[in-house]
Amino acid sequence: MSRGTVNKAIIVGRVGKDPEVRYTPGGTSVANISVATNYRAKDADGNWADNTEWHNVVVFGQLADFAGNYVKKGRLIYVEGRLQTRNWEDQNSVKHYRTEIIANTLQLLGSRQENGAETTEEVPPATAETKTDKVEEPPVEAPPDEDDLPF
């Protein structure tokens, strides 16, 4: 990580459609998930209005496999990752941009009834994380007693 910068996105929202899972030529699974979050704001007339923001989430490897198997439309999920913007030019030379959350943590939230689970299939623990993107944090030590302070 560069010194002095942070690129971290955390959202909790509802899945807009079942994830799209595909595979790279090297066989790595990639899942694209569309997630909606809501917020309230006053409109031009001073009335409160509900607004929806759609987020493009991308997960790789085991996390993509997990998403493909257990993340479904309408499911409430927690996503943590970094923002990345891609750009490309189409055949008409029009430049396009897409900002995505490259997720390293994905957690299923809510009960199965809340999320419309229709099967009795046993879901593994609700959290899946990629180990390649996760940095191990050193353990936090308790502060010393006042008697142990050198001053």
Q: How far is CA 132 from CA 62, 68, 79, 105, in A?
A: 11, 19, 16, 11
- Note the pLDDT tens digit of each residue in 51-77: 999 999 999 999 999 999 999 999 999
Q: What is the pLDDT of residue 111?
A: 73
> Which are the contacts of 66, defined by CB distance < 8 A and separation ≥ 6?
59, 106, 124, 128
Note if the pTM is more than 0.75: no
pLDDT at 106 over 90: yes
For residues 69 and 110, the answer to whether their CB atoms sit within 8 Å is no
Nearest to 123 by CA among 111, 141, 140: 111
At 113, list the tokens. Answer: 């009834």
Tens-place pLDDT, residues 4-15: 899 999 999 999
Where along the chain do its domains lie? 9-148
Tokens 């899946």 identify what position? 128
Task: Give yes or no for residue 151 having a pLDDT over 50.
Answer: no
SS (HEC) of 47-88 = CEEEEEEEEEEEEEHHHHHHHHHHCCCCCEEEEEEEEEEEEE
Rounded to whole angstroms, how far apart are CA atoms 106 and 66?
9
Cα–Cα dist 66/53, whole Å: 24
The reply to whether CATH 1.20.80.30 applies to domain 9-148 is: no
